[in-house]
Structure 1
Amino acid sequence: MIKRLFDCTIAVSVLLLLSPLIILVAILVRINLGSPILFKQPRPGLHGKTFHMAKFRSMTSETDAEGVLLPDAERLTRFGKFLRASSMDELPGLWNVLIGNMSLVGPRPLLVEYLPLYSQEQARRHDVKPGITGWAQVNGRNTLSWQEKFALDVWYVNNQSFGLDIKILLLTVYKVVKRSDISAQGQATMTKFTGNS
């Protein structure tokens, strides 16, 4: 209950405080990337139940001749890179926090297609609500291997506390200001998880 109250208080406060910035970013996304302004995608939440996570778009919708989306590196614009580096693309996620799909802190919600690929231990990352930021995000983010990332997620599940959440939030602010660990080496974003074999 304390975590939920804290999540809602911070989410409402940040949304109100940053509302002019959020409106400005929405306008810039519309100008630079067109419609839709928001990127919405089903993601697994608590106990693997899917919800629609919202972010500001940071990529174009360009496809090849067969209608398949081009690789991330080709669709990620300079403006999109700025949004990701500043983490401003994550601001709409505060709405997910308010309606209860996400928490401020928890394992990042990944793709639904990954669900059958997790080991039993890795799947424990879904024993808590996913977060806008998490233990893995402040300990390497996209520079980590998938195994390292999942191990940190499960460590958080085993050790979660209000004090740890505060520590993660403070470290997140530091990481955002520093703009570190944004992409995997040689990748525009993060390579896909294909299983543990």
Structure 2
Amino acid sequence: MSKLITFLSSLLQKVAESNDVNRRFHPQKISVFHGLTIPTISIQSYLERIFKYANCSPSCFVVAYVYLDRFTQHQPSLPINSFNVHRLLITSVMVAAKFLDDMYYNNAYYAKVGGISTTEMNFLEVDFLFGMSFHLNVTPNTFHTYCSYLQREMILQPPVNVAESSLYRTARSPKLQLCFNEEESTQQQQQQKQQLAV
């Protein structure tokens, strides 16, 4: 689990730094996820803090990654950067825990873990859910695909080539560079079922 935390934080750090640079070339919207300043706590320390105090299942961190990916796809004008990555992280993990785990903490607790107010945590949750069009269900196939991607990239350390990450936007294209496509994976799964039926 510690390797996953290190890898995810490294990935998000690179994505945030890249989008910080791209901000000069592509206009980005300001949202409730943006802080006035860049937090002093590193992304890795913040993710470790969430892992330590949230007590959610390890699956929540993979699902939170899926949610972040979906959010960036649905909100292309709100890329992950150094001003919003911490709030997006605490929100995605909280939403994943509520969706996956039988027992989870309330918003006030997650607000304390994230270093924000309960009111702000409530606003972040609502905006995040609407931002990804309430697309919360993660099929076993999608979960497996994301896990496989993360495992492959962790084995290939040093951390991922940012250009391959679905959370990364190139300066040339406002669209996401997807590492895989959920719809294609679902179609492949259906084709396999049809072949087995024959």
TM-score (ref. length: structure 2): 0.32
User: Relative contact order, CA 8 A, sep 6+: which one is greater?
Assistant: 2
TM-score of the pair, normalised by structure 1: 0.32
More helix as a share of residues: 2
